[in-house]
């Protein structure tokens, strides 16, 4: 019995890493995974998670669809729109909103939702942020733009990092404002941003 060939395009990924003038060790560090896990992933022996594909696309400055296609991920044609679950104001606070939809992207997972900035005072006015809601704070959200669910149901669009007190996080908003020592219930990394 012969082993099936991996569906990942190893050579394509090796060339993209080389084009970025980056070592696999550096790429693994930026992806926050072990170097051996990266090697297994790029050789088709370990699956690539959507969060890893998204981060890889960001790091290598490549379209997400290309990364997914060369990773052997079958991209299903998703809905042309998905739920718009909140509105972001100039202070990066998210107000829940139901019954509206946002344009989708074929490469986004089906469980994806979006929030949109609708505040003329914000430099992000009309930007839409797509994410998969998470039930906890995972390592993928740390130091990445995320939809952060604070204790007490408040939500903010921010970059979480470890807080100064145990069990807390510092939230850095895009406008530079930092909220220190916040208790987070969940943090969902932003997978894609549609500007304008």
pLDDT tens digits along 11-32: 999 899 899 899 989 998 988 8
Rounded (5°) CA angle 173-178-184: 80
Number of domains in the chain: 2
Domain match, 61 and 86 both? no
Evaluate if residue 88 carries a pLDDT over 80. yes
Q: Give yes or no: residues 126 and 59 share one domain.
A: no
Residues 129 and 44 in one domain: no
Residues 184 and 94 in one domain: yes
Q: What integer is the mean pLDDT of 120-134? A: 88
Rounded-to-integer distance, Cα 77 and Cα 175, Å? 35
pLDDT at residue 2 tops 60: no
Q: What is the pLDDT of residue 147?
A: 96
Vertex 32 angle, CA 116 and 144, to 5° = 20
**Cα–Cα distance measured from residue 192 to residue 104, given in angstroms and rounded to the nearest whole number:** 10
Question: Where in the sequence is the domain holding 88, given as residue range(s)?
Answer: 81-194
118 shares its domain with 56 = no
Q: Which among 70, 93, 113 is the end of a domain? A: 70
Asked whether residue 50 falls in the same domain as residue 132, the answer is: no
What's residue 77's pLDDT? Answer: 57
pLDDT of 86 higher than 90? yes
Please check whether residue 86 is in contact with residue 94, taking contact to mean a CB–CB distance below 8 angstroms: yes
For residues 129 and 156, membership in a common domain is answered with yes
pTM value surpassing 0.85: no
CA neighbor of 157 nearest in space, from 97, 87, 55, 60: 87
């Amino acid at each position: 019995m012969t082993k099936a060939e991996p569906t990942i395009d190893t050579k394509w990924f090796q060339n993209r890493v080389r084009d970025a003038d980056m070592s696999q060790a550096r790429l693994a560090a930026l992806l926050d995974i072990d170097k051996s896990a990266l090697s297994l992933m790029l050789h088709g022996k370990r699956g690539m998670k959507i969060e890893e594909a998204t981060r890889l696309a960001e790091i290598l400055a490549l379209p997400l669809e290309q990364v997914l296609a060369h990773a052997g991920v079958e991209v299903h044609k998703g809905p042309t729109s998905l739920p718009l679950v909140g509105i972001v104001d100039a202070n990066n606070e998210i107000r829940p909103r139901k019954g509206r939809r946002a344009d989708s992207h074929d490469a986004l997972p089906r469980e994806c939702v979006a929030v949109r900035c609708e505040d003329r005072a914000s430099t992000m006015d009309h930007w839409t942020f797509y994410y998969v809601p998470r039930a906890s704070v995972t390592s993928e959200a740390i130091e990445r733009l995320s939809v952060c669910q604070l204790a007490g149901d408040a939500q903010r669009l921010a970059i979480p990092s470890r807080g100064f007190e145990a069990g807390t996080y510092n939230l850095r908003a895009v406008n530079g404002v930092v909220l220190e020592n916040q208790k987070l219930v969940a943090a969902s990394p932003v997978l894609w941003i549609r500007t304008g």
